Structure 1
Amino acid sequence: MSFQLHGAGAPVDPTCRYGASRLRFRGPKRRLRDPYVACLGGAETFGRFVADPYPQLLEQRLGMACVNFGSVQCGLDAMLGDPDLLGLARAAERCILQLPCAQNLSNRFYRVHPRRNDRFLTASENLVALYPEVDFTEFHFTRHLMLRLFQHSPDRFAAVMAELQRAWVARMRRLLSAVDRPTVLLWLRQEPPSDAVAPLGAAPLLVDRDMVAALAGGSAATVELAVRGAVDSDELDDMIFGALQEPAAAQMLGPATHRSIAGQLLGVLRDLE
């Protein structure tokens, strides 16, 4: 058992690892001796700042272990590049896969960190040629990169978006094929904060209905929920965070939203039995 540290005096989220995986998942570590549902995803599945994320709530109601394989900076590349995680998913009875953002993957315009997929590493010659006026050394996160590219030129950004969306669909199909278990896609569609300027739209960023529909042949079902961050859903007082963590906690999903997610998934999983 290890801990994800957020700052001096702040609450910590227990994390764990399975096998040789270098990803850190929500703890405590499970023995995985009995049949289980594998819940794959990012920070929302991990359940930052909440005591009981939706996999735990779903397990209580489903009567089967629901193992939380959520990892905070995890995206498509991290999942596809982790054979131990894929093995754990293949060993499950069923899987739940939270849809990741499309900007957090390496593509012909830029590379991201192989495990912390929200981290921008370097621009390719293609991106430098498309945006010769941009200094790419100032970027550390893909979201910041996307916003700045859009602001510089919405027209040129369309080429970047098309590349990311194409790569996202192709890699999602690869992931579903690699998991090879009945998989429920969890689409947590989160509108931007009420006080934010967000030209890129709802999270997961750059994922649209046509892209999700393109995955229908490889998945068992899709659960789509419109969700809001804790500050907009009036759940911030129910979150667990330190003084310096409030801005981050405000954008994460609150306990009531996790209960709603578990309730929606429960009915779908029972229909698959």
Structure 2
Amino acid sequence: MSYELKSATALAGEPCSYAGSKLLVRGPVRNLTEPYLAFIGGTEVFGRFVERPFVAKTEEILQQTCVNLGSVNAGVDSFLKDPDILNIARKAQSSVMQVLGAQNISNSYYKVHPRRNDRFLRAHEPLLELYPEMDFTEYHFNKHLLSALRSCCTNRYETVRDHLQETWVERMGMLIGALEGQVTLLWIHYDVDQQALFGHEPALVDRPMVDALRAQVLGVVEIPVHTARDAEDIDGMFYGQLDLPSAQRMVGPKEQQRIAEQVARYLQPRLAN
């Protein structure tokens, strides 16, 4: 095991930002004047706790510059609200966009942080009316909030969940449209804890939701993976001494390599045309 003394993300590619954007993405900053591929996504694309995320490995295989626009805990809204990141992706030879979780979007029931989309900011009036017995000042993260909603009342929680899933399909469609449909979806999915409410990533996303987007994109690359814990893939990860539980729930270097190989295999013939 490796212990990172400065921070959990202080690796070879420390977080960086591109001109005009406030979103921290995986570094190093790349030269955007030459042809490149763009990868948009959250924690898995960023490669948290991993020295070389799959985007860097894909670049090595394809011998083509790959710009990592992955951001820790980013959701769909992180990118929709960032025209500079969208502009980088639009100018790419090809863009790959991760299928992100449905819990991390602002919606009719609650508002999330504009960049760290996993963070709950406030409840909207419909949620206050649906759950008048709850004090929403106690919650700071979306999964914690939704778990509490379900514990309080399963039927009312399902109303919120259904709305989130419908909003996700609409919002993902908007993001695809912002990239003019010239995008491939990357559906990385894995079990974190089968007994937990949010034990599967991406959270609250199922196959019919992804299928609803297929006609709008160039293709879908589906890759089931395992966490570093389940794949016994902790060695080679970089994390602080208190971050081991979090690192175990992430995608480790071996699975990052496998993702890179499958993504490269998909992109290679398309880049040749």
Please name the residue that 1:259 is paired with.
257
Task: Report sequence identity in percent.
Answer: 43
State the 1:180 CA deviation.
1.9
Matched, 1:107 2:107: yes
* Residues 39/129 of structure 1: CA separation in 2 closer, same or farther (3 Å cut): same
Q: Give 2:175's aligned residue.
A: 175
1:249 matched residue in structure 2: 247
Query: Partner of 2:166 in structure 1?
Result: 166
Cα deviation for residue 142 of structure 1 reads 0.3
Change (3 A) 1:52 1:8: closer
Deviation at 1:192, TM superposition (A): 2.3
Q: How many Å apart are 1:124 and its aligned residue?
A: 1.1
Rounded Cα–Cα distance in structure 1 between residues aligned with 2:133 and 2:269: 53
Query: Over the residues paired in the alignment, what is the CA RMSD in angstroms?
Result: 1.6
Q: Where in structure 2 are the equivalents of 1:41-80 lying within 5 Å?
A: 41-80=41-80
Gaps of 5+ in 1: 1-5
SS of 1:244's equivalent in the other structure is coil
Cα 1:136–1:216, aligned 2, differ >3 Å: closer, same or farther?
same
How many residues get paired? 266
Name the counterpart of 1:82. Answer: 82
In structure 2, how many angstroms separate the alpha carbons of the residues matched to 1:217 and 1:201?
29
- How is 1:92-103 mapped onto 2 (pairs within 5 angstroms)? 92-103=92-103
What is the match of residue 238 of structure 1?
A: 236
SS of alignment partner, residue 188 of structure 2 = strand
- One-letter identity of the residue aligned with 2:69: F
* Distance across 2 between alignment mates of 1:84 and 1:152: 41
Q: Give the conservation status (yes or no) of the 8 Å contact 1:95–1:181.
A: no
Q: Which residue does 2:225 correspond to in 1?
A: 227
**Which residue number corresponds to residue 205 of structure 2?**
207
Task: Choose 147-156 or 60-69, whichever is displaced more.
Answer: 147-156
Q: Using the alignment, how far apart are the partners of 1:133 and 1:228 within structure 2?
A: 39
The one-letter code sitting in structure 2 at the alignment partner of 1:113 is H
4+ residue runs over 3 A deviation: 6-11
Residue 268 of structure 1 is matched in structure 2 by 266
TM-score when normalising by structure 2 = 0.93
SS at match of 1:228: coil
**How far, CA to CA, are the matches of 1:181 and 1:199 in structure 2?**
33
TM value normalised by structure 1: 0.93
Kept in 2: contact 1:193–1:232 (CA 8 A):
no
Q: Which moved more, 1:225-234 or 1:63-72?
A: 225-234
Query: For structure 2, which runs of at least 5 residues remain unmatched after alignment?
Result: none
Aligned-partner Cα distance in 1 for 2:221–2:179? 18
